Amino acid sequence: MFITPNPGVAVALIAEALRALMLREPRATVAVLARYADQADTYYEGLRRSEVPSLRRIRANDFAFRAGVEVVEIKQVKGLEYDYVMLVDANASTFPKDDESRHLIHVAATRAAHQLWFVASHTPSAILPQWLVDAAL
């Protein structure tokens, strides 16, 4: 879990981590998951400007099914699996304490085969376990 002061810092943190990961594991599959399309667009543009390799913005289920980084909304990935998953904007405002948010976080979390990252700017969602939030502080 990473807690950042704003989405710009979150993009920089994720970009640095993804560049390093893709150098170490060029065959890895990575999903950067957002709740909403506009959030996915924002992160995609930031990661593109940060020169993250093998970056793709997935729309309308046009998955590549190959190594690289796919930025996509959570609702599109149900049933898929990635080596690494990063759930962005895991904030209280994006994922309030309701059934739909719980469901989407569950879908996002169960897509990761090897590692799952939660990235929140501002206040993390109350749905996330307190021990996870405490570990990030």
- What does the pLDDT look like over 2-37, one tens digit per residue? 999 998 999 999 999 999 999 999 999 999 999 999
- What does the pLDDT look like over 57-73, one tens digit per residue? 999 989 989 999 999 99
Domain that holds residue 115: 2-136
What average pLDDT does the chain have? 95
Q: Which of 27, 50, 36, 52 is nearest to 87 (CA)?
A: 36
Confidence of residue 94 (pLDDT cuts 50, 70, 90): very high
- What does the pLDDT look like over 69-83, one tens digit per residue? 999 999 999 999 999
The helix, strand and coil proportions of the chain, stated in percent and rounded to the nearest 5, come to 40, 25, 35
Taking the C-alpha atoms of residue 4 and residue 89, their distance in angstroms, rounded to an integer, is: 10
Q: Are 35 and 74 in contact (CB under 8 A)?
A: yes
Q: Model pTM? A: 0.95
Amino acid 52: pLDDT: 97
Provide mean pLDDT across the span 113-121: 95
pLDDT over 80 at 137, yes or no: no
**Overall number of domains in the chain:** 1
Amino acid 77: pLDDT: 96
Amino acid 9: pLDDT: 94
Sheet containing 68-73: order of strands: 2-4, 112-121, 82-87, 29-34, 68-73, 55-57
Confidence of residue 136 (pLDDT cuts 50, 70, 90): confident
Taking the C-alpha atoms of residue 48 and residue 128, their distance in angstroms, rounded to an integer, is: 28
Output the domain CATH number for residue 82.
3.40.50.300
